[in-house]
A and B are shown apart, each in its own frame.
Chain A
Amino acid sequence: MAVSKVLPPALAQRVGKFRQTANWRQSLDVWVPAGILVLLVFACFFGPFIASVPGPNAGSLLDARLPLFSPGHILGTDAIGNDLLSRALYGGRISIEVGLGSMLIGFVVGGSLGILGGYRGGILDIVIMRLLDMFLAFPSIILAFVVATFLGANEINVIFAISFFTVPAFARLARATTLQLRERGFVVATRLLGSRERDVLMRHVVPNVIPSLMTYGLLTVAIAMFIEAALSFLGLGIPAPQPSWGSTIASGQQYLSDAPWIVLVPSVFLFIAVASLNSLGNALRTRIESH
């Protein structure tokens, strides 16, 4: 509300709600999605070793399209008899790897370009931003198409393709945050005091840009997982024998009315992953913004 305008700043910051809520309840919005994500990562990477799960391609046609809760196949089987839980877990590995991989490339490359352009300004900034504008002008999924199909579809190339989207996106955010920071008192002061440029960048700019990049990183992982699934759904992502959420959904497309669980199981996994990443990202962002 409007308290901030009425009270001196030191006070306004502390204005909160009338009712007192316990601390643990306020941080639920962080811990619930974070817990789900940890659980999901653990299940995908270690689950198959702990509970014995059939191989993702070990099914036989005799077991095709078994429904949920079938003996031996708790989440049912797909059109050619592969265990859906197994495919979801192994597919989750690929999804997580692609999501993290393309996010990290975007974080490091895009973040550096954005900070550099925003801090230095001038020609360097113009050139960087115009180049990135061009990459953003390509719809991300189409760019990924072109790269993946002409370079050949495999996990590394999919990561590379999705990075064409993550790099400019991170760069824009890093640049905007750096520009705001550059005008802030403490940065201006250190610059005027004659600190070396590299020191100002590393000690004052970078540490303050990183938090917002990290929360944005969570959203980016979610978007990258989405794009990976979409590419695999269209048959342009992870090639056939490897399990992927997107390709499993595609394989169930024609059995939608008889065996909806083939589409449902990987979709629910994708939904849980993306929804948790989004909520965690939003919860952290609200926290950073209120500081």
Chain B
Amino acid sequence: MSEQYSSSKTDSRTPGARTELLGGPTTANTHSSALLEVRDLRINFHLQHSIVPAVQGVTFSVNPGQTVGIIGESGSGKSVTARAIMGLLPKKTAEVLGSVRFGGKELIGLSDREMRQHRGRDIVLVFQDPMRSLNPTMRIGTQIAEALHSHQEISRADAHSRVIDLLKMVRIPSAEQRSREYPHQLSGGMRQRVMIAMALSCGPKVLIADEPTTALDVTTQAQIMELLRELQRELDMAVVLISHDMGLAAMYTDEVAVMYAGRVVEQAMTTRLFKHVRMPYTRALLDSIPRLEHPSLEPLSVVRGRPPDLSALPPGCPFSPRCHFAQAKCEEPPVLETTAEGDRFACWFPL
């Protein structure tokens, strides 16, 4: 991280960043004792001829045992947010501003060496595609043991027995034999279990799951999500669930932040959000979930239009070009309003 971009206190606002949308760091969702606290996170990619604001002000916090969902279409900035928290963005092109605190300690601006202390031990990441995310030429046992060796002095024998325990913990049958196999010998669901075992190896406090079940079929998806929930309770972890799937969010999260074009457009406790959606984009995402009670003749609704080009956003509400309810007023950037309960939404004409 080059010095001039690393400081969280940098006041430089990126071109086009409309801070009124965020309303700055609000007090609404700030838990004083939060384990992971993300405040006004902004990420700019410096391209050859332009600067693309990929994330503009994400604020949320997670407590042990709690799950926060970050929901949005691809390109909404949710994966970039996950990688920024982990300090995994390329330092040459990505400028990360704002604040990410783990147990009160600021992570943004840490050197790679310092960050590595936390990565894989305190905060871990589970990726979308477990085939591509595992090294194809290394035995899975070795790959899990590698995480152990990176963070503690541990003998090979101890590491091995710990690997077997971990594989059993994620309910992989005949763990001893599986640990000697290569990723392509396992099914997709098994691979994702391996990824989870790897993530849990050092007893993490925060688990970020980036579309953990998107590459899996529906049955396996449910199994993996249940496994994650059980393990979360057992280990009292804070979980950040990143997904495009509102249904998943409804079932497995305590709080949801909906992202669009790099910004949070609606954020609320899950139970309240599904009772009263305010932002039309959230509504559109909800309507795109296939439902059993829907008559099958009715066509499945999808969010109209395409995700926006981040380098050429409309001047006002970024969702307005695709919004059924857009009016003249939407040419002005909406203010992120806070309700009495502490929920937030950015829309001139809430539903």
Are A and B part of the same complex?
yes
Q: Chain B 58-96, CB within 8 Å of chain A: the 1/0 string?
A: 000000000000000011000110010000111011100
Which A residues are CB-close (under 8 A) to B46? 16-18
Give residues of chain A (267-282) contacting chain B, Cβ–Cβ below 8 Å. none
Closest to A16 in B: B48
B274 interfacial contact with A, CB 8 Å:
no
Is the CB–CB distance between A2 and B90 below 8 Å?
yes
Give residues of chain A (1-51) contacting chain B, Cβ–Cβ below 8 Å. 1-3, 6-8, 10-11, 14-18, 20
Other-chain contact of B93, A1, A8, A10, A20 (Cβ < 8 Å): A1
Closest to B94 in A: A3
Which B residues are CB-close (under 8 A) to A20? 48-49
Is the CB–CB distance between B309 and A17 below 8 Å?
no
Is the CB–CB distance between A17 and B92 below 8 Å?
yes
Is the CB–CB distance between A14 and B47 below 8 Å?
yes
- Once bound together, how far apart are the Cα atoms of A237 and B48, in whole Å? 50
Other-chain contact of A1, B54, B90, B310 (Cβ < 8 Å): B90
B256 to chain A, nearest CB (A): 22
Closest to B73 in A: A8
Q: Chain B 300-311, CB within 8 Å of chain A: the 1/0 string?
A: 000000010111
A-B CB contact pairs (8 Å), 16 listed: A1-B92, A2-B90, A3-B45, A8-B75, A8-B307, A10-B309, A11-B47, A11-B54, A11-B310, A14-B47, A14-B50, A14-B52, A15-B45, A16-B48, A17-B48, A18-B46
Q: With A1-B90, A6-B89, A7-B80 in contact, is A15–B307 under 8 Å at CB?
A: no
Which B residues are CB-close (under 8 A) to A16? 46-49, 93
Is the CB–CB distance between B48 and A14 below 8 Å?
yes
A290 to chain B, nearest CB (A): 12
- Which B residues contact A (CB, under 8 angstroms)? 2, 45-50, 52, 54, 74-75, 79-80, 83, 88-90, 92-94, 307, 309-311
- Once bound together, how far apart are the Cα atoms of A1 and B307, in whole Å? 24
B246 to chain A, nearest CB (A): 20
Which B residues are CB-close (under 8 A) to A11? 45, 47, 52, 54, 75, 309-311
**A-B interface, 10 closest residue pairs, ranked by CB to CB distance from nearest:** A16-B48, A1-B90, A8-B75, A14-B47, A18-B46, A6-B80, A16-B47, A15-B47, A15-B93, A3-B90
Closest to A12 in B: B45
Given known contacts A3-B94, A7-B75, A18-B93, what 20 new A-B pairs fall within 8 Å (CB)? A1-B92, A2-B89, A2-B90, A3-B90, A7-B54, A7-B80, A8-B74, A8-B75, A10-B309, A11-B47, A11-B54, A11-B309, A14-B48, A14-B311, A16-B47, A16-B48, A16-B49, A16-B93, A17-B48, A18-B92
Which B residues are CB-close (under 8 A) to A2? 88-90
A89 to chain B, nearest CB (A): 43
Closest to A9 in B: B75
B58 to chain A, nearest CB (A): 15
Which A residues are CB-close (under 8 A) to B45? 3, 7, 11, 15
Is the CB–CB distance between B93 and A3 below 8 Å?
yes
Instruction: Label chain A's interface by main secondary structure.
Output: loop
- Once bound together, how far apart are the Cα atoms of A86 and B24, in whole Å? 77
Closest to A13 in B: B47
- Once bound together, how far apart are the Cα atoms of A7 and B311, in whole Å? 12
Which B residues are CB-close (under 8 A) to A17? 46, 48, 92-93
- Once bound together, how far apart are the Cα atoms of A15 and B52, in whole Å? 9
Most A-side CB within 10 Å, residue of B48, B94, B309: B48
- Once bound together, how far apart are the Cα atoms of A14 and B89, in whole Å? 16
- Once bound together, how far apart are the Cα atoms of A2 and B93, in whole Å? 10
Closest to B76 in A: A8
Is the CB–CB distance between A14 and B49 below 8 Å?
yes
A276 to chain B, nearest CB (A): 28
Q: Chain A 50-78, CB within 8 Å of chain B: the 1/0 string?
A: 00000000000000000000000000000
Closest to B311 in A: A11
Closest to A10 in B: B309
B310 to chain A, nearest CB (A): 6
Which B residues are CB-close (under 8 A) to A8? 74-75, 307
B111 to chain A, nearest CB (A): 18
Closest to A5 in B: B79
Which B residues are CB-close (under 8 A) to A14? 47-50, 52, 311
Closest to A20 in B: B48
- Once bound together, how far apart are the Cα atoms of A66 and B234, in whole Å? 89
Which A residues are CB-close (under 8 A) to B310? 11
- Once bound together, how far apart are the Cα atoms of A2 and B2, in whole Å? 17
Which B residues are CB-close (under 8 A) to A3? 45, 89-90, 93-94
- Once bound together, how far apart are the Cα atoms of A18 and B90, in whole Å? 11
Closest to B82 in A: A6
Which A residues are CB-close (under 8 A) to B50? 14
B72 to chain A, nearest CB (A): 12
- Once bound together, how far apart are the Cα atoms of A11 and B48, in whole Å? 11
